[in-house]
């Protein structure tokens, strides 16, 4: 059994958690009471008014937008946060908090901790398995907060570089395809009709030429969109069609 200084269970007594931990730094543990899996973290309060341990509790249990650990969050979604508990393992001074956290992690090997600590008190590296998952699964649109300021291996940097090259080639190919379509469409004669009675108004050598005539009223994007829709552009009271 892991010894705890303080333990907090659902329903949470938030005021007590605030009071117990105000101005204190330390190492904490989030425990899944169903599976017995857990996560170990730490928090540093730099003055008596700070309450970083409570903020860590809040981020894990009360803040639905902030993701501190994706594996822990997924477990909470599966089993429900009411089946988790929050424990204080040790209070520390600010100089050895990270080192003690590292020692606890090395000793108890918590499932939800995916970080392998390196030398020193606060410098650490992602292990190869997690770095690979991050690069393959998360991508640029879902940047994780733990992916900032960490040291990556040469192998991982090469992998990320290759992925970036693949994205660049794919995007470049897509842009060229779009450019070809744009050039072809720009050469098509375009006819303008009245939206009221369908009467012929004018003929232009291309959609771009038509747009230049109306560019103070609508954008070229709007012209292109209504060409595809075939619906009346009521802002100009016209119907735009390619000359068949």
> Domains in the chain: how many in total?
2
Report the 10 Å Cβ neighbour count for 173: 10
Q: Is residue 179 part of a domain?
A: no
Token couple for 191? 């006819």
Shared-domain flag, residues 102 and 191: no
Report the 10 Å Cβ neighbour count for 201: 13
Count Cβ atoms within 10 A of the Cβ of residue 133 and give its class: 0-12 exposed, 13-18 middle, 19 or more buried: middle
Q: Is residue 44 part of a domain?
A: yes
Q: What's the CATH code of the domain at 208? A: 1.10.10
The helix/strand/coil state of 230 is: coil
Long-range Cβ pairs for the range 128-133 (8 Å, 24+): 128/153, 128/155, 128/156, 131/156, 132/156, 132/159
State the pLDDT at residue 22.
Answer: 96
Q: Is residue 174 part of a domain?
A: no
Across the strands, what pairs with 204? 190
- Whether the CB-CB separation of 83 and 32 falls below 8 Å is answered with yes
What is the helix (H) or strand (E) element at residue 87, kind and residue range? strand 84-92
Q: Is residue 161 part of a domain?
A: no
Q: What is the distance of C-alpha 92 from the center of its chain?
A: 32
Which domain range does residue 34 map to? 6-113
Among residues 113, 130, 150, which one ends one of the domains?
Answer: 113
State the pLDDT at residue 152.
Answer: 61
Least confident of 79-88, 96-105, 220-229: 220-229
- pTM, two decimals, is 0.49
First to last CA, the chain: 81
Token couple for 170? 């794919």
Per-residue pLDDT tens digits for 45-61 = 999 999 999 999 999 99
Among residues 56, 78, 113, which one ends one of the domains?
Answer: 113
Give the separation between CA 55 and CA 38, rounded to whole angstroms: 18
Confidence of residue 126 (pLDDT cuts 50, 70, 90): very low
Per-residue pLDDT tens digits for 133-190 = 445 544 444 444 444 445 566 666 777 777 777 776 666 565 555 555 555 555 688 9
Task: Taking residues 6-13, report their average pLDDT.
Answer: 95
Give the separation between CA 127 and CA 65, rounded to whole angstroms: 26
Q: Is residue 76 part of a domain?
A: yes
State the pLDDT at residue 122.
Answer: 38
Per-residue pLDDT tens digits for 91-100 = 999 999 999 9
State the pLDDT at residue 151.
Answer: 57
129 Cβ neighbours under 8 A, 6+ residues apart = 114
Q: Is residue 172 part of a domain?
A: no
State the pLDDT at residue 181.
Answer: 56
Q: Is residue 141 part of a domain?
A: no
Q: Is residue 206 part of a domain?
A: yes
Across the strands, what pairs with 200? 193
Among residues 84, 113, 142, which one ends one of the domains?
Answer: 113
């Amino acid at each position: 059994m892991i010894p705890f200084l303080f333990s907090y269970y659902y329903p949470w007594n938030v005021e007590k958690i605030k009071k117990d931990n105000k101005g204190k730094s330390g190492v904490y543990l989030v425990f899944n009471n169903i599976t017995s899996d857990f996560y170990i973290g730490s928090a540093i309060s730099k003055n008596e008014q700070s309450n970083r341990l409570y903020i860590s509790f809040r981020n894990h249990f009360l803040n639905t937008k902030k993701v501190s650990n994706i594996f822990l969050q997924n477990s909470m979604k599966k089993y429900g946060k009411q089946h988790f508990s929050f424990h204080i393992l040790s209070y520390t001074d600010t100089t050895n908090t990270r080192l003690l956290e590292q020692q606890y992690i090395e000793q108890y090997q918590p499932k939800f901790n995916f970080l392998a600590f390196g030398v020193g008190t606060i410098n650490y590296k992602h292990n190869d398995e997690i770095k690979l998952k991050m690069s393959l699964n998360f991508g640029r649109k879902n940047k994780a907060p733990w992916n900032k300021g960490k040291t990556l291996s040469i192998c991982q940097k090469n992998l990320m570089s290759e992925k970036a090259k693949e994205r660049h080639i794919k995007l470049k190919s897509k842009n060229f395809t779009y450019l070809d379509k744009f050039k072809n469409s720009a050469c098509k004669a375009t006819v303008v009709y009245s939206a009221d009675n369908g009467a012929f108004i004018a003929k232009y050598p291309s959609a771009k030429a038509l747009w230049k005539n109306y560019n103070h009223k609508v954008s070229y994007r709007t012209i292109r969109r209504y060409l595809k829709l075939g619906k009346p552009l009521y802002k100009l009271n016209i119907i735009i069609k390619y000359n068949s």
